Amino acid sequence: MAQKLQLVQNVAAWLLTGTGRREHITPVLRIVPFVLVATDGGTDSSALVNDNGSEEDYSYEELCQASPRYLQPGGEQLAINELISDGSIVYAEALWDHVTMDDQELAFKAGDVIRVLEASNKDWWWGRNEDKESWFPASFVRLRVNQEELPENSGSIQNEEQDAETGKHRHKIAENKDQMRTNVIQEIMNTERVYIKHLKDICEGYIRQCRKHTGMFTAAQLNTIFGNIEDIYKFQRKFLKDLEKQYNKEEPHLSEIGSCFLQHQEGFAIYSEYCNNHPSACIELANLMKHGKYRHFFEACRLLQQMIDIAIDGFLLTPVQKICKYPLQLAELLKYTTQEHSDYNDIKAAYEAMKNVACLINERKRRLESIDKIACWQVSIVGWEGQDVLARSSELIHSGELIKISKQGKSQQRTFFLFDHQLKASDYQSNGYLATVMD
């Protein structure tokens, strides 16, 4: 295995020098294992932060063994499919709004709970929100930690509590709540450690190599693609260090981590800059990926750093996802934190603080996506006349089909689009395109 790793690293280094032909090494790339073994027989190491603020080496394999399987790369999809096939009900929470003008996609708002019905595709899942079933992007949601918990309004829970007359039963309920809190605490800690690994890989695996190849990237391009992610990495290392200090390894449910979020709440503001820049990063990266030499370069960076099998755009999305996960995690933690718990007030305040941060970012992201979708929708319409929709509106409020009946009694089906400040109607032509018919 050590020889195999050395071969792969040599190939990756060869690619980064710009020599050789890609087709000669394709068979080698296919044999790369999920967790690569270092030349000394150890596993790939990732830098985490110890109590002294220095980097401490932990293998990624150890992180995966210590973490629930759904936190591992590809594990979430596998865990969901196993639960669904066993007849279990699986819920996910929306990280941010999903704005769509496509009837075949599921629209939802940040914080909505979605029942996942099918997850065979890693990018798009099938689920139900309220009374509608449709496809939705998997990257927009996170799995709820305590899937086994019944809804709060479940009659079985109410009856169970009403019938609980003995101290023994009450103690059992309390123990269950402690376990639920332990689950959430452990998810927060595990996801932070894995996140630090991803940030390190981006900074050391991609940015460092890009800076060495000045002929391929300008400083402006790198600033657009990676934004302030190095500042985020530095901030998150300090944040994880403080989290580890507050984490009770023996009795995780007694951990007091709320103060960490409050101490660092101003620092999380750096995510706003990154999230604002992310759409531009995607465009710049997409333009570069049209050229084979850039696709090969980024793949070589990933292999040389022994990174997991995620494309660079997936890595660059993780900070956007992360900042929106915090309020969901804290809301779930608050749910299992009693008012008598020493961490209750801090968790409650931390939840409000992180919710405000995520709301601002989510609103900005939602508006940008809405503007983009409106522009694409208008371009698809044949015979558009008059002022552009975006000249007066930036948001689609509702769309649906109505029947228009003329004075002669003839009926015609029309699709109406209600935007902020205007209403548009269109009909469906035989060529399959929409044509504007009224303002």
pLDDT in tens, 6-45: 555 555 555 565 544 444 433 333 333 333 333 333 333 3
pLDDT tier, 360 (very low <50, low <70, confident <90, very high otherwise): confident
Which CATH entry fits the domain spanning 172-377: 1.20.900.10, 1.10.10.10, 2.30.110.10, 3.40.47.10? 1.20.900.10
Mean pLDDT, to the nearest integer, of 266-284?
A: 91
State the pTM of this model. Answer: 0.63
pLDDT tier, 174 (very low <50, low <70, confident <90, very high otherwise): low
Which CATH entry fits the domain spanning 73-144: 2.30.30.40, 3.90.550.10, 3.40.50.2300, 3.40.710.10? 2.30.30.40
User: Which helix (H) or strand (E) is 46 found in, with range?
Assistant: strand 45-49
Q: Which span out of 273-277, 361-365, 370-374 was modeled with the highest average pLDDT? A: 273-277
Q: CATH 2.30.29.30 region(s) of the chain? A: 381-438
Residue 411, both tokens:
């009926």
* pLDDT score recorded for residue 27: 35
Mean pLDDT, to the nearest integer, of 425-435?
A: 58
Mean pLDDT, to the nearest integer, of 341-362?
A: 92
- Name the region of 89 (left: φ>0; alpha: ψ -120 to 50; beta: rest): beta
Q: CATH 2.30.30.40 region(s) of the chain? A: 73-144
Between residues 79 and 61, which one has the greater pLDDT? 79
pLDDT surpasses 60 at 241: yes
Q: What sign does the dihedral 227-230-234-237 (CA atoms) show? A: positive
User: Which helix (H) or strand (E) is 61 found in, with range?
Assistant: helix 60-66
By three-state DSSP, how is residue 424 classified? Answer: strand
What is the CATH number assigned to the segment(s) 381-438?
Answer: 2.30.29.30
CA 135/CA 143 separation, integer angstroms: 16
SS3 labels along 366-381? HHHHHHHHHHHHHHCC
Instruction: Please state, in angstroms and as integers, the Cα–Cα distance from residue 112 to each residue in 14, 94, 136, 299, 352, following that order.
Output: 47, 5, 13, 36, 17
* pLDDT score recorded for residue 122: 77
Between residues 66 and 304, which one has the greater pLDDT? 304
Mean pLDDT, to the nearest integer, of 170-197?
A: 84
Q: CATH 1.20.900.10 region(s) of the chain? A: 172-377
**Angle CA(56)–CA(59)–CA(63) in degrees, nearest 5?**
100
Do residues 114 and 55 lie in contact, with contact meaning Cβ atoms separated by under 8 Å? no
pLDDT surpasses 80 at 259: yes
